[in-house]
Structure 1
């Protein structure tokens, strides 16, 4: 009985470790997507500014 209890505790512990790891990965992915979105927006603004500059030059 005690042995079975220890096994289930170890199972639960490893399950929580996996869940914690997945949450960290998910958080990192969300931060990565946020940064990529910011870069994309900044890049779009730079392209628009570039086009405005070219139009004003002509």
Structure 2
């Protein structure tokens, strides 16, 4: 049970970042480059956080 919560949260973060990258593409289509760059950085941060959670839960 101890390992299930970090795995689930890490998976949710990685999959949720796909939504952020989709929004990045939408902003690029609207030619709103500043918003797209900001969303892209947030997406990378969310992916990195999710991967760290998954890495720590799988290492145990």
Query: TM-score, length-normalised on structure 1?
Result: 0.49
Larger Rg computed on CA atoms: 1
Larger RCO: Structure 1 or Structure 2 (Cα < 8 Å, ≥ 6 residues apart)? 2
Higher normalized helix content (fraction of residues):
1
